[in-house]
Amino acid sequence: MRTVVTVDIALTVSVAAEVVFSVVPATGWATEERLDLAADGHAIVPVEREDAHGTRLHRAVLPAGAASLTYRAEVSPPAAPATSDDLDPVRYLRPSRYVPSDLLSDEASAFVGLPPREIVTRVLREVAARLEYAPGSSGPTDSALDALRAGVGVCRDFAHVTIALLRASGVPARLVSAFAPGLDPMDFHAVVEAFVEGRWEVVDATRLAPRAHLARIATGRDAADTAFLTTISGAVALDSVEVTAVARGDLQLDDTESAVLLR
């Protein structure tokens, strides 16, 4: 399955800044690609580094003024799955910045002790029943607890609540940012990988895009590890971000009861 993806980001840098972008497909996904970063009309060459699970980061220093990033690529699933190790199921059971799973033991009490696959199924139903999807309904510092209290959120909130309930129930879970053909409104998408029967399976309580067409960008504990823009120093304002992901060919219908692996 091949997909054409684009990213356009416009920034205003008020104080010279060091930034890190996480906007390109993970290692092995891109078959053709081009990334252009510019500030005040001058090209800037970022330094690329690889993070956990093949996440590709681009680090750069931007002078004060207007800056822009454009990315164009054609992607398809790699032959090998994302890297993982024997400690990942332990790492992704621990509470994290946006997923305070240790505070949700009461919420997860009905799931504890069930087979992992049944836990995943029931948690997804619970999240879908308790959260309403509404663009712009949450902020960048909202956690899984905030989303549960509000009863509304965007894809990252659905992912954080899903991860929190899975971890509190004893199922390792992690967040994946992805390109998602079929997503409406189009944007970067946040989904969950749950560790079931010795492998990482992708699940999505929003059901907004077919999982078989997802293209991995970044993988981590929660949104703190997968943010598309991180400001290390200086001052940067995000003016706009536009993302597209268009599958070549028809989109597959998503059988929500089937297991899907994300490369």
Written as one string, the DSSP assignment of 211-243 is: GGG-EEEEEESSHHHH-SEEEEEEEEEEEEEEE
Average pLDDT, the chain: 96
Continuous segment of H or E residues that includes residue 60: strand 56-62
Query: What pLDDT, on the 0 to 100 scale, is given for residue 115?
Result: 97
Write the pLDDT tens digit of every residue in 108-123: 999 999 999 999 999 9
Which pLDDT score is estimated for 55?
98
Give the per-residue pLDDT at 54. 96
Q: Looking at residue 132, what is its pLDDT?
A: 98
Q: What is the pLDDT at residue 83?
A: 84
> Domains in the chain, please, with CATH?
3-79+227-247 (2.60.40.2250), 88-226 (3.10.620.30)
Going residue by residue through the chain, which has 263 residues, state the pLDDT in tens, using 9 for 90 and above: 899 999 999 999 999 999 999 999 999 999 999 999 999 889 999 999 999 999 999 999 999 999 999 999 999 999 888 888 999 999 999 999 999 999 999 999 999 999 999 999 999 999 999 999 999 999 999 999 999 999 999 999 999 999 999 999 999 999 999 999 999 999 999 999 999 999 999 999 999 999 999 999 999 999 999 999 999 999 999 999 999 999 998 898 898 888 999 98
Q: List Cβ neighbours of 242 (8 Å cut-off, separation of 6 or more).
A: 6, 7, 8, 9
Angle at CA of residue 217, ends 45 and 38, nearest 5°: 25
Strands 152-153 and 132-133: parallel
The string over 11-49, giving b where at least 16 C-beta atoms fall within 10 Å of a residue's C-beta and e elsewhere, is bebeeebebbbbbbbbbbbbeeeebebebeeeebebeee
Q: What is the pTM of this model?
A: 0.96
CB 163 within 8 Å of CB 202: no
Q: What is the pLDDT of residue 103?
A: 97
pLDDT in tens, 199-225: 999 999 999 999 999 999 999 999 999
